[in-house]
Structure 1
Amino acid sequence: MKYMMTYDLMESARNTNQWLGATAHAFASYPMMSWGANPAMDWLKAWGEVTERTFARMVVKPDWNIPPIAGEKGKDYPVVVETVVERPFGDLIHFTMPGRKPSKRRVLLVAPMSGHYATLLRKTVTSLLPDCDVFVTDWHNARDIPVSAGKFDIEDYTLYLVDFMRELGSDIHVIAVCQPVPLALAATAYLAEEDPTAQPRSLTLIGGPVDPEANHTEVTDFGRSVTMGQLEETMIQRVGFKYAGVGRMVYPGLLQLASFISMNGETHANAFRDEIIRVAKGEASEHDRHNDFYDEYLAVMDMTAEFYLSTVERIFKGREIARNDFVVAGHKVDMSKITTVAVKIVEGENDDISAPGQCLAALGLLTNLPDAKKASHVEPGAGHYGIFAGRSWRNNIRPLVLDFIDANSEASPAAASAKVVALK
């Protein structure tokens, strides 16, 4: 399937469905159709409206749309997004609030590169802003990156994190969510050897596959059941002529979306059926629960073929992080070199993407980190999304993370000593 033709065919199918929805909506909205009661036209209009919106949002990067943050004495501060570091495959962005006193808590939120944009963490960012100065890794859609920019695999991702941490300084607290958890751990270990003074104060790892074999899920079973050749043949395509990344080998966002939906096909089908019914009855709204969720869920991005394939081969199949055998740019990363960075693990009891135990495996790799610097939490009844953006995050996990950050805000004696040596 590694052809531009198949990539363009998928885009054509998406375009066609969007056009069908728009056409149905326009036809059923024609004034003459309202002369008499005709429930069929109401249903056609509702189907068209939902269908058009569904397929249109698949190729548009959502805006952050962070609401103003309340400050002291009831004053609201508007949120401005600024780019701190600009790179071909992803930027380091900063959420600033002009006029507000800078927060002492500086947080780097590491967003996943797993099909969705960093805006998937919008609610996480919004919940942290009242109490933290927040930076986020904002990954780019591979279809928009020219082939001349080169490759981007898990080693490059790790080195991006290393550079971002260096840019922000040692008083930063890193929170990694889902896919980048093992790579954030590796980046910290890399700094522990190469540049100890640039290590973060703390590292919070939320629901990520440090050791996928620790507790099997449908995701890990899929990774074990297919060969790399099968994945490359069935999942990888070349970007079509419409985009700047023409010719780049990618795992297309539309193909990823098909995989996401197939995992819970009946749930999604029922959700869209119910939304069409609500629209037909006039009970839906622009920002109802369905639209708020699917505006983000359906907005997908292509990831480079080498990133996807190296993730499956080295993280899931080879378990290089779990075996402490990960190599970055020819340098073997040793997790035991992390001795001063406090590490907290957060997992969801009902997480079906990264099941409990997969992320906890990180603590077993930190053999030289004092137990006092280690912490873990399993949120009862929480699924994958809930542990970083849902009710469980807001009510239970977020306060624990902030307490953990506060408890580890001062530089450890070892880190302070390393900084003195470096200055000499």
Structure 2
Amino acid sequence: MKYMATYDLMETMRVTNQWLGATAEAIGAHPAVALAPNPFFKMLGAWGEVTERTFARMVTKPAWNIASVVGEDGRDHLVKIEHVVTKPFGDLIHFNVTDRPLKDRKILLVAPMSGHYATLLRSTVVSLLPEAEVYITDWHNARDIPVSSGKFDIEDYTLYIVDFMKEMGPDTHLIAVCQPAPLALAATAYLAEEDPKAQPRSLTLIGGPIDPDAAATDVTDFGRRVTMGQLEETAIQRVGFKYNGVGRMVYPGLLQLSSFISMNSDRHASAFKEHIMAVSRDDIGAQAKHNKFYDEYLAVMDMTAEFYLSTVERIFKGREIAENRFTVNGKTVDLGKITSVAVKSVEGAEDDISAPGQCIAALDLCTGLPDSKKASHVEPGAGHYGIFAGKSWRNNIRPLVLDFIDENSDAPKPAKRTKSNVAVLKKKNA
């Protein structure tokens, strides 16, 4: 029962703050308040509305909210989410664009399991749907998984990716975003030995810590400063009685969120202060922009303790991927066995989480891969989020990734994106 009380205490604090916010909002909206023309009550109600929404979102899994996609025929095609593979710790889902011919490109997005849900990649999915069949790994919240389902560490995560790739077939193009980049690389190497026919056509690694020591950041420095004993003592708790995973050892989402916010506390404090003012003056536009980002950012999920601890110990401290000595079920995975899968790294020049140099290290590890099958890109001025979901992704990185996929696919290659093509397209749209 150790640490279960701490987990329940955090949940109690969250519920209490949500209740305080709802109460303040109700007071601010009470008709009697209108009799006293005092701006205090307007501000109280605005604070309450923001507070209630903030703490409620922390335990709510966001919806995908992808209703339709415009097809080449100019019609809106409904998007249906299909569960292709269902497993205890995560599913493989397909965004089926109904009444549209299957696209030649088949992409599997490997979403990070680093505190947020796979919906963090919603805008990435939306940007790819018009031109590809898109699949994604939808990881489950550890607090909702019964202890009877067993453990889930980085080896299990790797094997999940292997199973998903086998299900999708060899004409798949893998895109791993952030945390899963080293494990997606390991899964590809695993298939190269165990089932070569199931290997993907290409692997794109976006902002992932292949070699954390290649360029130090606050994240990698933290992994060096803290011992595993300290980490287990301060970060790991047991799920409380409120959830199906009662008793499971986890790294709680609420604890992760406090770490995320502390990294940029001044910026977040300023954003919420401005948001409260926007609510008090009924500025709907400013509210929508804030809510769009923070509804996703605040929605956090618990990670299994074994996954979090094994990630820190084996990927960051032990550098097993960087030194090509990662093992799965006792078998060493040799990255040099990747000989036919094209590999591309994408990094942001201003990335303060996975700094430039960490991800491109994958290319040197693929010793069996010819240079013609290797590619890399560093996006100037882009931070971590921008390289997979922001303006840099939409305008620059996405076209490069799609071209890379087409160059390493057996499918018919569409016309290259050139400046002249873009100019013609803009003229047509205008």
Structure 2 length normalisation: TM-score?
0.94
Shift of 1:286: 8.9
Distance 2:309 2:400 in 1: 35
Corresponding residue for residue 221 of structure 1: 221
1:165 matches 2:189: no
Distance 1:2 1:358 in 2: 37
Corresponding residue for residue 393 of structure 1: 393
Shift of 1:285: 4.9
> AA paired with 2:216?
H
Distance 1:120 1:73 in 2: 29
Shift of 1:282: 1.0
Corresponding residue for residue 376 of structure 1: 376
Distance 1:80 1:313 in 2: 39
| Maintained 8 Å contact 2:173/2:200 | yes
Corresponding residue for residue 428 of structure 2: none
Corresponding residue for residue 405 of structure 1: 405
Task: Out of 33-42 and 7-16, give the one that drifted further.
Answer: 33-42
> AA paired with 2:119?
T
Q: Counterpart of 1:78 in 2: which secondary structure? A: strand
Shift of 1:37: 1.7
Deviation string for 1:36-61 (max 9, x for gaps)?
Answer: 42100110010000000000000000
Corresponding residue for residue 359 of structure 2: 359
Corresponding residue for residue 280 of structure 1: 280
Corresponding residue for residue 70 of structure 2: 70
Shift of 1:72: 2.4
Distance 1:84 1:391 in 2: 31
Distance 1:326 1:364 in 2: 16
> AA paired with 2:170?
S
Corresponding residue for residue 94 of structure 1: 94
Corresponding residue for residue 307 of structure 1: 307
| Maintained 8 Å contact 1:2/1:233 | no
Q: State the identity %.
A: 73
Distance 2:217 2:154 in 1: 22
Corresponding residue for residue 230 of structure 1: 230
Shift of 1:161: 0.3
Shift of 1:289: 1.2
> AA paired with 1:151?
K
Shift of 1:368: 1.1
Shift of 1:87: 0.1
| Maintained 8 Å contact 1:2/1:249 | no
Q: Kindly report which structure 2 residues correspond to 1:162-201, keeping only aligned pairs within 5 A, or say none.
A: 162-201=162-201
| Maintained 8 Å contact 1:275/1:284 | no
| Maintained 8 Å contact 1:144/1:244 | yes
Corresponding residue for residue 243 of structure 1: 243
Superposed CA RMSD: 1.1
Distance 2:34 2:94 in 1: 50
| Maintained 8 Å contact 2:189/2:337 | yes
Shift of 1:35: 2.2
| Maintained 8 Å contact 1:2/1:236 | no
Distance 1:288 1:98 in 2: 30
Shift of 1:74: 1.7
| Maintained 8 Å contact 2:84/2:92 | yes
Shift of 1:73: 3.1
Distance 1:280 1:354 in 2: 38
Shift of 1:121: 0.2
| Maintained 8 Å contact 2:89/2:140 | yes
1:111 matches 2:111: yes
> AA paired with 2:269?
A
Distance 2:284 2:21 in 1: 17
Corresponding residue for residue 210 of structure 1: 210
| Maintained 8 Å contact 2:275/2:287 | no
Shift of 1:284: 3.1
> AA paired with 1:293?
F
Q: 1:279 to 1:287 in 2, by over 3 A?
A: closer
Deviation string for 1:240-288 (max 9, x for gaps)?
Answer: 0000000000000000000000000000000000000111111135961
Corresponding residue for residue 146 of structure 2: 146
Corresponding residue for residue 427 of structure 2: none
Corresponding residue for residue 421 of structure 1: none
Distance 1:238 1:161 in 2: 27
Q: Counterpart of 2:130 in 1: which secondary structure? A: coil
Distance 2:372 2:266 in 1: 45
Distance 1:243 1:282 in 2: 37
Distance 2:342 2:164 in 1: 19
Q: Counterpart of 2:126 in 1: which secondary structure? A: helix
Corresponding residue for residue 61 of structure 2: 61
Corresponding residue for residue 7 of structure 2: 7
> AA paired with 1:178?
C
Task: Out of 22-31 and 282-291, give the one that drifted further.
Answer: 282-291
Distance 2:190 2:72 in 1: 40
Distance 2:336 2:167 in 1: 24
Distance 1:284 1:243 in 2: 35
Distance 2:243 2:287 in 1: 30
Distance 1:397 1:255 in 2: 33
Distance 2:173 2:272 in 1: 39
Distance 1:101 1:343 in 2: 28
Shift of 1:34: 1.1
Distance 1:356 1:2 in 2: 40
Distance 1:270 1:85 in 2: 42
Deviation string for 1:116-166 (max 9, x for gaps)?
Answer: 000000000000000000000000000000000000000000000000000
Distance 2:175 2:194 in 1: 21
Count of residues in correspondence between the two structures: 411
Distance 1:71 1:333 in 2: 41
> AA paired with 1:115?
G
Distance 2:198 2:289 in 1: 41
> AA paired with 1:172?
T
| Maintained 8 Å contact 1:145/1:244 | yes
Shift of 1:393: 0.2
Deviation string for 1:372-419 (max 9, x for gaps)?
Answer: 0000000000000000000000000000000000000029xxxxxxxx
Shift of 1:21: 0.3
Unaligned runs of 5+ in 1: 412-424
> AA paired with 2:263?
M
